[in-house]
Amino acid sequence: MYVYDQYDQQLLNERVTQFKGQMARYLEGKIAEDEFLPLRLQNGIYVQRYAPMLRVAIPYGQLNSDQMRALAKVARDYDKGYAHFSTRQNVQFNWPALEQCPDILADLAEVQMHAVQTSGNCIRNTTTDEYAGVIAEEVVDPRPYCEIIRQWSTFHPEFAFLPRKFKIAVNAVPGEDRAAIAMHDIGLNIIKNDAGEVGYRVLVGGGLGRTPILGTEICDFLPEQHLLTYLDAIIRVYNQFGRRDNKYKARIKILVKALGIERMRELVEEEWNRIKDGEGQLTQAELARVKQHFVDPSYEDLTDEPETLISAKAENKGFARWLSRNVRAHKKPGYAVVTLTLKQIGTPPGDVTAEQMDQIAELSDEFSFGELRSTHQQNLVLPDVEQRELFNVWQKAKVLGLATPTLGLLTNMICCPGGDFCALANAKSIPVAEAIQARFDNLDYLYDLGELDLNISGCMNACGHHHIGHIGVLGVDKKGEEFYQVSLGGNSGGNAGDTSASVGKILGPSFARDKMPDVVATILDFYVANRHEGETFLEAYRRIGHDSYKGAVYGKAD
Amino acid sequence: MAKLINTHGEVANTPLTQVTFEQWQASPNGNSLELFLSSDQTADLIGDQCKSFARICIDFPKFSDGRGYSAARLLRERYGFNGELRAVGDVLIDQLFFMKRCGFDTFALRDDQVLEDALAAFSTFSVSYQNDVLDQKPLFRRRMN
Ligand code: SF4
């Protein structure tokens, strides 16, 4: 993974010093509350329901075991002994003291971690496929491009005060999109043209939140070297013309909609033509420099499906289940990609204790070259595990509660922190997740249901990505009471062979919390009763139609 | 009263006749004028005519309104404006470093801001990743490893 050189480290150290100073001036009363707000946000600090929340960046989901240990130490020294992995591949601490945040950031800087631009109206952490670099299907490894974007976006002088937050996602796998790029302000699909040259298909104006919209293509093939100037051009147009009078209309998606994609493209190209051949153009030397940080670790020459694996699988149903769900093919024979699920029943999705984090770091050192990934489904990944060690890894992960064999199934839910922590929430989300997990705990049933994404957000901000869950749950406030609105048919585009991202459609009036497991059960029963052989939940929904599901749940089709 | 500073310290203001873009369009003449550019006016609106002014003041009605950064950069980088570029309005310490990088050379610092803290803010970072008005080369063209 990328290792800082003296420039990167110096910049980060200076950031730590800057924020220390800003915090001191704030505490001395020299900076007003509303003027401190963007400063703390751009250093990852929200003020939440009970305490400040610190969001630490995990650039494009990539981290190493030392960084994991440092996070565990933060959880232990400054928090209540646990951390929460978010849907944007970042990690959040729910209980730090505001005054201690500069110290936490200083500690993290020692392991090349930070909270830069994890919040605020600026360019946020770029996200990508959690399996980047270890799967055969990708066109190229997207991580070097993400790192180049990270550097370009860090303290960008022109774009620190955009109309609203700005998220970029990168995908490099044809026909599959775990990064859900169509849901981002800018989505970059790395592709090769007929001549075999690398470039990007660029989408703009996607996003969740109050007005969920899929991104629209603004450029069908942008050559590799133009990455940063093109991003500059898009965001420059947005910075000048995006709405600033209404925060609900301030995202770039609203600008794209207002101008129309044709006009948007014209403006961007006009801007881009003036800078594209300048010094901002990416050089091959820089690409090569960054790429060398992402070369393969020293893999051994192994073969797929070793004897030990085959026999362990035959002898142990639990292991076989875990293999079938939580382990996926690696580009290198004899290796596998293992997902450690943070979806233990009784624990909020994405939460891990400091002890678990230390153990995860151990696992990564022992079995995966010390590397880890965080995923948008709030899990962690050991990217490079030898297949002959899988049984071993499974046993250890099981003891740690990290081997729930349900990746991609109903109970591997995505769930935001919701009303238990988040000041913006309309309703709690964690208890809903827990009730559903408790109700549907029969593995045979879950396996029979097959691929199913259920996503829960506590409010319109959609941190739990409810719009793109096959089943989406949104917390709403009904005269001061917590209710839940259900939508069906959303899709992130992350499923093999089905990249058709879509936004879910609301089923009907919302439900009280205690009704939610029943509602989900009704939807599932209807699916099971009406599916064709081999048809997934989403496929069946698309075939049978929204209204039939509506009828099943509300007792009448209208 | 705002304190007028450059990156070294307090400076005296040379009073110039101030015009808005609309006023100047109505009668485009006069020497040593100062143009007041509001935050909803873009650099492209003025274009090459920027060279008619001795000074351009770009307004930040609220510190969180970031349009002025693009305006400044474009005036400098695209239209080659060489005169004085001044940040006016809600000009606060913690935005000065960005402003400097976008080509501002004087800053009408809001009166409640502490002068020493402001001057220190100009050297917050000794390295930047991106190209900017001060350095046309991004770090990746300057790295020596
Ligand atoms: S979706 Fe709403 S409730 Fe949930 S974390 Fe985001 S802002 Fe908070």
| pLDDT digits 0-9 by tens, B82-138 | 999 999 999 999 999 999 999 999 999 999 999 999 999 999 999 999 999 999 999
Q: Which residues line ligand 1 (CB under 6 A)?
A: A 416-418, 422, 424-425, 457-459, 461-464
Parallel/antiparallel/unpaired status of strands A82-85 and A351-353: antiparallel
Above 0.95 for ipTM, yes or no?
yes
Q: Are A357 and A68 in contact (CB under 8 A)?
A: yes
Which of A154, A156, A279 has its CB closest to that of B141? A279
Instruction: Supply the range of the domain harboring residue B56.
Output: 3-142
Q: Which residue has the tokens 């400040």?
A: A52
Note whether A517 contacts B: Cβ–Cβ < 8 A.
no
Query: CATH number of the domain at A414-554, out of 3.40.640.10, 1.10.150.20, 3.40.50.300, 3.30.413.10?
Result: 3.30.413.10
- At residue B29, does pLDDT exceed 90? no
The CATH number covering residue B43 comes to 3.40.50
- Write the pLDDT tens digit of every residue in A371-415: 999 998 899 999 999 999 999 999 999 999 999 999 999 999 999
Q: How high is the mean pLDDT of chain B?
A: 96
- Judged on CB neighbours under 10 Å (0-12, 13-18, 19+), A306 is middle
Shortest Cα distance, chain A CAs vs residue B102, angstroms: 7
Residue A196 is encoded by which pair of tokens?
């075999």
Of A179, A185, A182, the residue nearest A159 (C-alpha): A185
Shortest Cα distance, chain B CAs vs residue A209, angstroms: 22
Shortest Cα distance, chain A CAs vs residue B50, angstroms: 18
Please tell me the CATH code under which domain A135-293 is placed: 3.30.413.10
Which of B64, B127, B141 has its CB closest to that of A161? B64
State the fold for domain A307-399: Sulfite Reductase Hemoprotein; domain 2 (3.90.480)
Which of A155, A285, A289 has its CB closest to that of B125? A155
A to B CB pairs, distance under 8 Å: 109
CA A356 to centroid of ligand 1, rounded, Å: 25
Of A415, A458, A416, the residue nearest A437 (C-alpha): A415
Note whether A274 contacts B: Cβ–Cβ < 8 A.
yes
The β-bridge partners of A502 are A491
Most A CBs within 10 Å: which of B101, B140, B143, B144, as the mutation test of the A interface? B140
- What's the confidence (pLDDT) of residue B145? 62
pLDDT tens digit at each of 558 positions of chain A:
999 999 999 999 999 999 999 999 999 999 999 999 999 999 999 887 667 899 999 999 999 999 999 999 999 999 999 999 998 899 999 889 999 999 999 999 999 999 999 999 999 999 999 999 999 999 999 999 999 999 999 999 999 999 999 999 999 999 889 999 999 999 999 999 999 999 999 999 999 888 889 999 999 999 999 999 999 999 999 999 999 999 999 999 999 999 999 999 999 999 999 999 999 999 999 999 999 999 999 999 999 999 999 999 999 999 999 999 999 999 999 999 999 999 887 888 899 999 999 999 999 999 999 999 999 889 999 999 999 999 999 999 999 999 999 999 999 999 998 988 888 899 999 999 999 999 998 999 999 999 999 999 999 989 999 999 999 999 999 888 999 999 999 998 765 445 578 899 999 999 999 999 999 999 999 999 999 999 999 999 999 999 999 999 998 544
- What's the confidence (pLDDT) of residue A557? 44
For B39, the closest chain A residue by CA position comes to A240
CA A474 to centroid of ligand 1, rounded, Å: 10
- What's the confidence (pLDDT) of residue A558? 46
Q: Using the beta-carbon criterion (under 8 Å), do A10 and B127 form an inter-chain contact?
A: yes
For a mutational test of ligand 1's pocket, the pick from A455, A463, A485, i.e. the residue with the most ligand atoms closer than 8 A to its C-beta, is A463
For helices A261-275 and A227-241, the axis angle rounded to 10 degrees is: 120
A22 neighbourhood in chain B, CB within 8 Å:
94
CA A428 to centroid of ligand 1, rounded, Å: 9
For A148, the closest chain B residue by CA position comes to B140
CA B102 to centroid of ligand 1, rounded, Å: 35
For B121, the closest chain A residue by CA position comes to A18
CA A421 to centroid of ligand 1, rounded, Å: 9
Note whether A39 contacts B: Cβ–Cβ < 8 A.
yes
* Architecture of the CATH domain A6-109: Alpha-Beta Complex (3.90)
Q: Using the beta-carbon criterion (under 8 Å), do B94 and A279 form an inter-chain contact?
A: no
Q: What Cα–Cα distance (Å) separates residue A80 from each residue in A69, A95, A554?
A: 16, 7, 43
**Ligand 1 nearest-atom number relative to CA A475:** 3
- What's the confidence (pLDDT) of residue A345? 79
CA A466 to centroid of ligand 1, rounded, Å: 11
B80 neighbourhood in chain A, CB within 8 Å:
none
Q: Are B2 and B109 in contact (CB under 8 A)?
A: yes
**What is the separation of C-alpha A257 from the centre of its chain, rounded to a whole number of angstroms?**
25
Q: Whose CA is nearest to atom 6 of ligand 1?
A: A463
A341-369 per-residue burial string, b: 16 or more CB within 10 A, e: under 16: bbbbeebbbbbbbbebbbbbbebbbbbbb
- What's the confidence (pLDDT) of residue A183? 92
Number of domains in chain B: 1
* DSSP state at residue B96: H
Note whether A161 contacts B: Cβ–Cβ < 8 A.
yes
Q: Using the beta-carbon criterion (under 8 Å), do A11 and B141 form an inter-chain contact?
A: no
The domain limits of chain A are: 6-109, 135-293, 307-399, 414-554
Most B CBs within 10 Å: which of A6, A18, A23, A35, as the mutation test of the B interface? A35
Q: Using the beta-carbon criterion (under 8 Å), do B94 and A31 form an inter-chain contact?
A: yes
The CB-based long-range contact list for B48-53 (8 Å cut-off, 24+ gap) reads: B48/B79, B50/B75, B50/B79, B50/B81, B50/B83, B51/B79, B51/B80, B51/B81, B51/B82, B51/B83, B52/B24, B52/B28, B53/B81, B53/B83
